[in-house]
Structure 1
Amino acid sequence: MTLNLTASQVLAGAGVLLALFAVWRYSARKAQRAADKARASARVVSLAGRVLFTGAAFMGVQWLVITHVHNPTLVLVVLGLPDLIAAYVLTRVLTVTSMDTTTTSRRRGGGRR
């Protein structure tokens, strides 16, 4: 079985292969951008959940100590400790100098090396 192809048929075939490769690359990049956006929004939701859980735990412990323990030193410790933790966290958050570069420092060819 022999194939007899003209130069225009070979060029047309190469053009079709090039177009398929370009579409494949475009869809892969689009999927990567969508995955990055999904990760970023999941990060926010996860952070909100952790903040709410921790706040509820602190509030529950404070309520128990204030209503059932009549030791003023213990009440001051229970009320002051969350303030110290919050001050530490806020100080760290507000003094961050690095940037999240997950999307800008991507290498060509994708993936890690």
Structure 2
Amino acid sequence: MTLNLTPTQILAGVGVLVALFVVWRWSARKARRAADAARASSRVVSLAGRVLFTGATFMGFQWLVITYVHNPTLVLVVLGVPDLIAAHVLTRLLTVTSMDTTNTRRRGGRR
């Protein structure tokens, strides 16, 4: 079986293959950007949930101690420890900076 193709048909076939490759690369980049955005937003939601849970736990213990215990030292400890934890977290948050990005260096860039 012989296959006779004209130069126009060969160029059309190569053009279709190049177009498929370009679409494939474009969709891969778009999917990577969407995955990065989803990962970043899930970090925020996860952090917010942990903060709310921890805050509710602290508040519950404080409410229990203030309501049912009449020892001023214990009340001061229960009110002071969460403040110390919050101060530590805020101090680290405001003084430590980090780059939380993926390394997306292209060819030819400085290394």
1:106 aligned residue: 104
How far, CA to CA, are the matches of 1:24 and 1:9 in structure 2?
Answer: 23
Identify the residue that residue 83 of structure 2 maps to in structure 1.
83
- Structure number with the bigger relative contact order (C-alpha 8 A, sep ≥ 6) is 1
RMSD: 1.2
CA distance in 1: counterparts of 2:5 and 2:105, whole angstroms: 40
Q: Secondary structure of 2:97's partner?
A: coil
Distance 1:101 1:41 in 2: 14
The Cα of 1:9 is off from its aligned counterpart by 1.4
**Which whole-Å deviations, capped at 9, do the CAs of 1:66-94 have from their partners, x for residues lacking one?**
11111111111100000000000000100
**How far does residue 107 in structure 1 lie from its aligned partner after superposition?**
5.1
Gaps of 5+ in 1: 109-113
Q: Which amino acid aligns with 2:60?
A: G
CA distance in 2, matches of 1:97, 1:45: 21
Query: Distance in 2 between the 1:97 and 1:46 partners?
Result: 20
TM-score, normalised via structure 1 length: 0.87
SS of the residue corresponding to residue 100 of structure 2 reads coil
Deviation larger for 42-51 or 54-63: 42-51
Q: Which runs of 5+ in 2 are unaligned?
A: 107-111
Once the two structures are TM-superposed, the CA of residue 5 in structure 1 deviates from its matched residue by 1.0
TM-superposition CA deviations, 1:54-113 (whole Å, max 9, x none): 1000000000011111111111110000000000000010012221112xx1256xxxxx
Matching residue of 1:18: 18
Matches for 1:1-113 after TM superposition, within 5 Å: 1-102=1-102, 105-106=103-104
What does the per-residue CA deviation read over 1:27-80, in whole Å, with 9 as the maximum and x for residues that have no partner?
A: 111111111111111111111111111100000000001111111111111000
Q: Which residue of 2 aligns with 1:111?
A: none
Q: Quick one: percent identity of the two aligned structures?
A: 83
